[in-house]
Structure 1
Amino acid sequence: MAPGASPVLLLLRAALLLSPVAVSCGAALDDPVGLLRLAKEPEFMDWMVGVRRRIHENPELGYEEFATSELVRRELDAMGISYRHPFAVTGIVATVGTGGPPFLALRADMDALPMQEGMEWEHKSKVPGKMHGCGHDAHVAMLLGSAKILQEHRDELQGTVVLLFQPAEEGGGGAKKMLEAGAVENIEVMFGVHVADIVPIGVVASRPGPIMAGSGFFEAVISGKGGHAALPHHTIDPILAASSVIVSLQQLVSREADPLDSQVVTVGKFRGGGAFNVIPDSVTIGGTFRAFLKESFNQLKQRIEEVIVSQASVQRCSAVVDFMNKDKPFFPPTINNPELHDFFVKVAGEMISTSNVRDRQPLMGAEDFAFYAEAVPRTYYYFVGMLNETRGPQAPHHSPYFTINEDVLPYGAAMQASLVGRYLLEHQHVTAAKEAPHEEL
């Protein structure tokens, strides 16, 4: 025995030398730099760009992604990858590998936003009032790129990679419906990725623990008594009541929340009245509330209703509050598994250097990837940067001027393939070491 070498380590080395699968995997799926180089090859890159642009030209809203789903299935058929469809109306669940455990999953969201694209370019949205203003078109192209890489090295996979193409991330709770349809049965580990407008190209960013907030929506109808604006004493003014409600709602965070416990309450809708000289019978307000802790989220929900009803009554009005969680389900916080964070940093560091793996502060935005954490033992969500300041200003997500730096596509495709490939390889090695006979001491 070599000095300092443990029996388990020697047995593991012997298993690697005797296993052609392990050696092959080490030369391919265990080579993050090589996979990135593959994804950057002109032919590979042109194909992903073409997929992304076709999706961008034909955006579809949540649960309406029929053409997008058909495009994905055509590409999977061309690769020889089997899949099941539909899940949650338009969703697809594809598999690459042995068909047996362990099962890992990668996910891309497919839906667009109800907004008019403001940029004029060759592949602008052809559908009035709809555009991919968040990057989901890039996510689909990147996951198909990962699928191509994994399929080319399928004989090296010691387990199964499940590819989820999900509808309705933008408030529709598509992940929840995918879960209800059984899309993640037997999944042990799952990764999700999002392009980032403020993270430089060639950089990835994430953190252990909470990364995205939980969120919910509310709408309230505040009713009074309408009348002529010149005779307010004959009316019960719901606009005044709603104004008092909105001011009081802001105090829930500033005066009731722990300053170290991030929370948000925002009123984004105020609708009522239609004339300068008429006090309406009622007004409608609506908004969102967000928190990282479940207890804080539930407390906010309770207090929002109490404040709206109570403040309306102070102004002699009545109020009915609807939290809309049938149409817009509450999103849990997105919380990253600490062990997967260490694993992510290691793999990403090998691909793009440790200096390009950055910490990301938690965001008050919500992500329905969080639903998967309720069913999958370990999940991890990260951002892949696409900011290139030499291209000029980068418009933010959900802006009509949002654009994709298509140089991000190979980074997303290679990173996803590297994460699942390395995880399966390490799982194989650990299993081999556990199953190998131990020599007597």
Structure 2
Amino acid sequence: MKFDYLESKVMEIKNWVINIRRDFHQNPELGLEEYRTRDKIIEYLNHMGIENKIVAETGVVGIIRGKNQGKTVALRADMDALPMDDKKDVSYKSKVEGKMHACGHDAHTAILLGTAKILNNMKERINGNIKFLFQPAEETVGGALPMIEEKVLENPYVDGVFGLHVDNNLKTGQIGIKYGQMKAASDMIRIIIYGENSHGAYPQDGVDAIAIAGQVIVALQTVVSRNVDPRSSAVLTIGTIKGGYGGNIIADRVEMEGIVRTLNKESRELVLHKIKKIVEQIPQTLGGEGEFIRTEGYTALINDNDMVDIVRKNGQQILGKENVKKIPFPSYGVEDFSYFAATRPSAFFQLGTGNIEKGIIHSGHTSYFDIDEDSLTIGILLQARNALEFLKS
């Protein structure tokens, strides 16, 4: 498929896509609450004549079955908003108090609908199938895994997945790509130290949970610096500590909460194992007890290099070689596209949406966040090309 033909078709739907994005922006829904968003997506897909079904309660999967047999590729967009007030002075600002699309998922959804519209009009020339994954709850509990558990990557079997995320640190007309490790794995940790109360004047009669907690915190600082290979790296942060009843009382309980971010499975298992040993063993030597509670977060996002090559080549052809930026280091942010990437060869890339002249300078997860809407057609063109090139390979 020639690039200029595809570009002209994408430009024909530019205003349509902008209006869709603005509608979603005005009507944001939090994770697992995306019922209006889901129903609007179904309405659009039905109008296009694209087969679809509901998955994971508020998610949607659509499919275009090409004229001829071949591979199946999936394109993914997340749908949920954030619990924030929209403080922008624009006609399409959020109508819902305390809810806002501050991370661009409205744009992701609009781009995927636009991509579906373009590719559906070409289905007679497509070999294979294209699935469209509209995913809920990326910002909260993670909707990717429930979708996978409901077999969105089966029947027909998906051979590869592409996803994108808007990025105001890149200018409109640029993309960011990363080979291999792109995002970290995430775990929330909770530590409870148990001691024994006594009067503060008679510490020998108790077991000081605060003193024990201090020793545990010091030991935890060695987990990364003295156990993790520096070439792999990790982050361990204790963000809260609570304990004690008064200045003259030996505390019998201290609670701490923190995060662990790692870039691969081996480092993740090592760090969590070391934390558990420290939390359980140090308090015992000091007469107390320690409890370690882990809440598993997202797995690390590791791109498939061959899939990234497709994005790179299409980006260079559409935007120019100078506008395809290689991301130098993995991010310690998280993204549940990682579950698709762990299951199938995948590529996740950053779509430039920043524009200083238009005042599009605010980063995600802020109340003034917006995107340059000229980026929407670029996203559609890239994702359409990515799908078509994958099916040709």
| Partner in structure 2 of residue 179 of structure 1 | 148
Kept in 2, the 8 Å contact 1:97–1:155? The answer is no
Q: CA deviation at 1:281?
A: 4.5
CA distance in 2, matches of 1:394, 1:231: 58
The structure 2 residue matched to 1:88, chosen from 34, 52, 56, is: 56
1:388 to 341, 350, 355: 355
What SS does the corresponding residue of 1:101 show, helix, strand or coil?
Answer: strand
Among residues 173, 185, 198, which one is paired with 1:202 in the alignment? 173
Q: 1:350 and 1:46 mapped to 2: Cα distance?
A: 24
> How far 1:50 moved relative to its partner?
2.0
For 1:34-433, list aligned pairs within 5 A: 34-41=5-12, 44-85=13-54, 87-98=55-66, 100-185=69-154, 186-225=157-196, 236-272=207-243, 281-313=252-284, 316-325=287-296, 330-361=297-328, 362-376=330-344, 378-392=345-359, 394-424=361-391, 426-427=392-393
Q: Sort the Cα spacing of 1:128 and 1:307 in 2 relative to 1 into closer, same or farther, 3 A.
A: farther
Offset from partner CA, 1:33-60 (integer Å, 9 cap, x none) = 543444344xx22222222222222322
Q: Note the C-alpha offset of 1:227.
A: 6.9
1:408 deviation in Å? Answer: 1.9
User: Aligned letter for 1:127?
Assistant: V
Shift of 1:191: 0.5
Check the 8 A contact 1:36/1:415 in 2, yes or no. no
Question: What's the CA shift for 1:147?
Answer: 0.8
Alpha-carbon distance, 1:72 to partner = 0.9
Report the count of equivalent residues. 389
- Would the alpha carbon gap of residues 56 and 393 (structure 1) be closer, same or farther in structure 2, given more than 3 Å must change? closer
Once the 2 structures are TM-superposed, how far is the Cα of residue 158 of structure 1 from its aligned partner? Answer: 1.4
Pair 243,401 (structure 1): closer, same or farther in 2 beyond 3 Å:
farther
Aligned match of 1:11: none
Letter in 2 for 1:355: E
Distance 2:110 2:251 in 1: 50
Secondary structure at the residue paired with 2:159? strand
Q: Distance in 1 between matches of 2:277 and 2:260?
A: 14
Q: Deviations over 1:237-268 (max 9, x none)?
A: 44444444334323222222221112111223
Partner secondary structure for residue 370 of structure 2? coil
CA distance in structure 2 between the partners assigned to 1:52 and 1:277 by the alignment: 59
The question of whether the paired residues in 2 share the 8 Å contact of 1:240 and 1:315 is answered with no
Q: 1:275 to 1:60 in 2, by over 3 A?
A: farther
| Residues in 2 aligned to 1:230 and 1:198: alpha-carbon distance in whole angstroms | 57
- Say which structure is richer in helix: 1
Aligned-pair identity in percent equals 35
* Pair 1:155–1:274, CA change in 2 (3 A): farther
Deviation at 1:93, TM superposition (A): 0.8
Q: Bigger CA drift: 388-397 or 347-356?
A: 388-397
Whole-angstrom CA distance in 2 between matches of 1:275 and 1:35: 70
Find the aligned partners of 2:11 and 2:213 in 1 and give their Cα distance. 55
The 1:162–1:277 alpha-carbon spacing in structure 2 relative to 1, beyond 3 Å, is: farther
Using the alignment, how far apart are the partners of 2:210 and 2:174 within structure 1? 48
User: In the alignment, is the contact (CA less than 8 A) between 2:354 and 2:371 conserved in 1?
Assistant: no
For the 8 Å contact 1:213–1:333, the answer to whether it is kept is yes
* Amino acid in structure 1 at the alignment position of 2:176: A
RMSD: 2.6
Distance 1:294 1:36, change over 3 A: same
Aligned to 1:22: none
Letter in 2 for 1:141: A
Partners of 1:228 and 1:277 within 8 A in 2: yes
Structure number with greater Rg is: 1
Structure 2: which 5+ residue stretches go unaligned?
none
Normalized against structure 2, the TM-score is what? 0.89
Give the alignment's TM-score, normalised by structure 1: 0.80
Amino acid at match of 1:97: R
What is the CA-CA distance between 1:306 and the residue it aligns to? 1.7
8 Å contact kept, 1:52–1:140: yes
